[in-house]
Amino acid sequence: MRGVSSFCLSLLAAAAFGPAVQATPVYPKGALELEQQLLSGQTAETKAWIKKEAEQEATGRFISEEMSRNAARKFGASGSEVSTYAFLVLMEAARQADANVYTLVTGVQAASASRADARQRELTSSGIASAQQAQLSGGLQSAQQNQPDAFVPLASTDDSNPIRDARDASSAIPPPSMTLQDAMDRESKVEDLLADAMKRVSPPG
């Protein structure tokens, strides 16, 4: 399996500090051209099956070339068709896996932006609350001095902050079922399987 450490680090850095940039799957040389040739002879039903099967394999718990080949047999393929369908499924699965990575990267960026916005709101509300508290304290002291016996405090001395309390009580956004690391590992695995699957396919004559 090709190394993913530097690739993962670059994507994680982009997720945290930069705009989302959708990468492109690493296809074997000539794979796109071969895919176009093979797809040109497929029916609409077969193309729809390829897309559906690829989506399942790109997000499933396990993936292997044999999984794609078995799926092709269940669909009705035989002989050289099995290798052809397996290759086409893995080509589409590579796109789906790449799309999963992109979706999770943008999700990390959105979460980071939300945390930054929440922190800014907290600082702003804290500043407003401090100013209001200072004003109330000054008014309270003045009133006590003017009417020490008859004074009944009307302002609450509770230091609760409704904005902060409401924010803290809100439920956290649940994490996605597939982590960013999982998605990047899956994309790498699909690309490795694709390279092997391509070797088994005979170009159309």
Q: Rg of the chain's alpha carbons, rounded to an integer? A: 29
Whether pLDDT at 9 is above 70:
no
Residue ranges per structural domain of the chain:
1-18+31-127+176-205
Mean pLDDT in residue range 10-26? 54
- Is the Cα dihedral 60, 61, 66, 67 positive or negative? negative
Mean of the per-residue pLDDT values for the chain? Answer: 74
Question: What pLDDT, on the 0 to 100 scale, is given for residue 93?
Answer: 92
Whether pLDDT at 166 is above 50:
no
Question: What pLDDT, on the 0 to 100 scale, is given for residue 101?
Answer: 86
- Is the Cα dihedral 63, 65, 70, 72 positive or negative? positive
Mean pLDDT in residue range 107-129? 62
Distance CA 83, CA 87 (A): 6
Mean pLDDT in residue range 162-178? 45
Mean pLDDT lowest for which of 51-60, 101-110, 160-169? 160-169
Whether pLDDT at 68 is above 80:
yes
Alpha helices in 24-161 (DSSP H): 31-39, 44-59, 65-75, 80-146
Distance CA 82, CA 195 (A): 16
Task: Write out pLDDT tens, residues 142-151.
Answer: 655 655 554 4
In the Cβ-directed half-sphere of 5, how many Cα atoms lie within 13 Å?
1
Mean pLDDT in residue range 69-75? 96
Residue 26's pLDDT band (boundaries 50, 70, 90)? confident
